[in-house]
Amino acid sequence: MRRTAGGFSLIEVMVVMAIIAIGVAVASLAIPSRLSADEDNPSAQLFQWISDCADEARLSGQVIGLRFKANGRDSVSIEALSLNQRLDQWASSTCFSIPSKTLELSIKDLSLSNSGLAIEIDNQSQRAEVLQAHIILLPTGEITPFNLEVFGDYRATIAANGFDELVVEYDQ
């Protein structure tokens, strides 16, 4: 009685490897196009940036304020301001800029008492500048209620309900 070796032949192994390689190639082509679409979508970028600021507030234990200001007609910048509670001053930390034609600010239910009113910021000059944070992100996860309408290739609404829920809804 003669025994034959069990297992797969070299041809069978090569066919399986070729099928796996084709599957990986198709998947790798699909993933970057989805990521680049998000890079071009201002509402996705803005939502991610606000979400990152909210996470930073929770992790650092600091109050973070977001302030919207127009940079001429070209863009709107949104500054993240960290609150130095000991000095009652806002200090600018990071900034997000978005083309003004894609952002319509419709901030609703925003009471100035919730947003810290006008707290002075020291801009390293002779006079102090008064800044106002439009949205407050607390370390407890609470977010000042707001609605932002963002236009572009996709129309979206970014909203916070006052608690720790931050959502983005895309209109078709």
Q: What proportion of the chain, given as a percentage, has pLDDT over 90?
A: 7
Residue 22 has pLDDT above 90, yes or no: yes
**Strands across the sheet containing 75-84:** 89-99, 75-84, 64-71, 135-137
Delimit the domains of the chain by residue range.
Answer: 10-40, 42-171
Lookup result for tokens 């890079």: 39
pLDDT in tens, 58-73: 888 888 888 777 666 6
Lookup result for tokens 């929770």: 58
The CATH architecture of the domain made up of 42-171 is 3-Layer(bab) Sandwich (3.55)
- With bands split at pLDDT 50, 70 and 90, how would you rate the model's confidence at 149? confident
pLDDT in tens, 134-144: 788 888 888 87
**Does residue 121 contact residue 135 with C-beta atoms inside 8 Å?**
no
- With bands split at pLDDT 50, 70 and 90, how would you rate the model's confidence at 35? very low
Nearest to 143 by CA among 73, 65, 75: 65
pLDDT in tens, 72-108: 666 667 777 777 655 555 566 666 665 555 555 444 4
Q: What is the DSSP string of 125-139?
A: SSSPEEEE-SEEE-T
